[in-house]
Amino acid sequence: MLNASLKELASALDARQISSVELTTLFLDRIETLNPVLNAFITVDRDGALSAASAADARRAAGKAGPLTGIPLAHKDVFCTEGLLTSCGSKMLSNFTSPYDAHVVSLLKAAGTVMLGKTNMDEFAMGSSNENSFYGPARNPWNTGHVPGGSSGGSAVAVAARMSPIATGTDTGGSVRQPAAFCGVTGIKPTYGTVSRFGMIAYASSLDQGGAIGRSAEDCALLLSAMTGFDARDSTSLERPADDLATGLDTPLKGLRIGLPREFFGPGMADEVRTAVEAALAEYRRLGATTVDISLPNAKLAIPAYYVIAPAEASSNLSRFDGVRYGHRAAEYTDLADMYSKSRAQGFGAEVKRRILAGTYVLSHGYYDAYYLQAQKLRRLIAEDFSRAFEHCDVIAGPTAPTTAYAIGEKSDDPVQMYLGDIYTVAVNLAGLPAISLPAGAAAGALPVGLQLIGNYFNEARLLGAAHQLQTATDWHLRQPGGAE
């Protein structure tokens, strides 16, 4: 059962081979065994999970079960969960019990899912390695001395180590796709505006987007379908009919044009990544897809533009953490300004402080045009590159990250090196496009490699279908990590 797909789990529940309470207990026990090593969960809610599972069993008995009813899942700790610690990986919110549910959490509750707990993450989703968590880093189950990626590292670890069948994540610059790649699982970030940001603690609002992590594209399609939909409480939520993402899964690859941006295959990519990505592309060609060379000439500017825009938005968003209404307040201070400064100095970690300071600077008087406005202009050029590319191809493929998972501590003292690892993911967020990372053909025994597929706006079904077809023909996504056993 631990290795079953969502479809198989739903069939077993339907056939009464197992109850949701039994299934939930199985995963809770596995979390109990593995979490002391992997640190994937910040909070495990055993009582809440068992009571939700019991309600799901009753719902199934009443003949009212949907495709996700009774299925255990984990939420990234960026999503507010009523009555449960919602820390966002920060000391600032280490005392924050949310008074309400995020929209995504409400939707998945209504679908009958069973939340096992909240997963570890880089503080306020700022990081690519999970090392910025106040709760210590989650560890990669393929090699526990290595990072799981970030910021949704705990969610990727939970799915890879089968502590949960599926998990939610968020992706501002690659935070679903890169940990999915590092942990050998599948992760999709949908088009900006399709998943409500209500109750999802904000980092950079014009880039943040909820996403789904699962073992396969098929599982991601089921989870993402249940997370998507208009929400009036998110001012950027798009009013459009819901797509049934499961319907495109069986579309054959014949005729699919895969664009290969030459900028994504240049120097800087590790050999084992190149080999694995090439193996996946060869498989696509064998299955009837064609590849075409394309160019994204401004792609190299995505990192500098991102590291202006995201910190600028973060400096504004995180001004709400002031020790007045919720979160950490310093124990001693002289006056109001001192209370703000000390509460924020104590509550935020080093990387969060740096991004707030960088953002404050680029928005300050005299620098706005040179940095913030210039970054927004580059953002347009980057988005236009993609729309030109999609005149020649249906999806764009390349590596998700330039390397496999690196050792814990290897890059944590060098923010620039850490940022450069986001080279293939951030442009997608600047443009607001959907993209998926799926396991590519890494060598047996090696750390996983992610293949990234980028689609045009609202082409999630096509991405999931292309990923599912590869996963039907190969078993790369079924490989098991052995590092934590």
Q: Which of 19, 20, 76, 90 is catalytic?
A: 76
Residue 24 or 429 having the CB closest to other proteins: 429
Task: Please identify, using beta-carbon distances, which residue of 2 and 350 lies nearer to other proteins.
Answer: 350
Please state the closest distance from residue 66 (CB atom) to other proteins, in A. Answer: 27
Any contact of residue 192 with other proteins (CB under 8 A)?
yes
Question: Does residue 336 touch other proteins according to CB under 8 A?
Answer: yes
Nearer to other proteins, 249 or 362 (CB): 362
Answer yes or no whether residue 134 interacts with other proteins by CB under 8 A.
no
- Confirm whether 76 is a catalytic residue: yes
Residue (29 or 338) nearer to other proteins, CB: 338
Supply the minimum distance, in Å, between the C-beta of residue 192 and other proteins.
4
Q: Among 61, 282, 292, 345, which residue interacts with other proteins (rule: CB under 8 A)?
A: 345
Q: Which of residues 369-428 bind other proteins (CB under 8 A)?
A: 370-371, 373-381, 383, 414-416, 419-420
* Binding residues for other proteins restricted to 281-300, rule: CB under 8 A: 298, 300
Nearer to other proteins by C-beta: 66 or 304?
304
Asked if 22 is part of the footprint of other proteins (rule: CB under 8 A), the reply reads no
Q: Examine residue 316 and tell whether it contacts other proteins (CB under 8 A).
A: no
Residue 353 found at the interface with other proteins (CB under 8 A): yes
Binding residues for other proteins, rule CB under 8 A, total 72
Active site residue 11: no
Judged by CB under 8 A, which of 66, 304, 402, 483 binds other proteins?
Answer: 304
Considering the candidates 19, 151, 164, 237, report the single residue annotated as catalytic. Answer: 151
Which residue is catalytic, options 98, 129, 152, 175?
A: 175
**Residue 109 a catalytic site member:** no
Question: Closest approach of Cβ 437 to other proteins, in Å?
Answer: 19
HEC string for the chain? CCCCCHHHHHHHHHCCCCCHHHHHHHHHHHHHHHHHHHCCEEEECHHHHHHHHHHHHHHHHCCCCCCCCCCEEEEECCECCCCCECCCCCCCCCCCECCCCCHHHHHHHHCCCEEEEEECCCHHHCCCCCCCCCCCCCCCCCCCCECCCCCCHHHHHHHHCCCCCEEEEECCCCCCHHHHHHHCCEEEECCCCCCCCCCECCCCCCCCCEEEEECCHHHHHHHHHHHCCCCCCCCCCCCCCCCCCCHHHHCCCCCCEEEEEHHHCCCCCCHHHHHHHHHHHHHHHHCCCEEEEECCCCHHHHHHHHHHHHHHHHHHHHHHCCCCCCCCCCCCCCCHHHHHHHHHHHHCCHHHHHHHHHHHHHCCCCCHHHHHHHHHHHHHHHHHHHHHHCCCCCEEEEECCCCCCCECCCCCCCHHHHHHCCCCCHHHHHHCCCEEEEECCCCCCCCCCEEEEEECCCCHHHHHHHHHHHHHHCCHHHCCCCCCC
Residues 207-266 that bind other proteins (CB under 8 A): 232, 235-236, 238-239
- 430 versus 467: smaller Cβ distance to other proteins: 430
Among 307, 390, 406, 476, binds other proteins (CB under 8 A): 307
Q: Which residues are catalytic?
A: 76, 151, 175
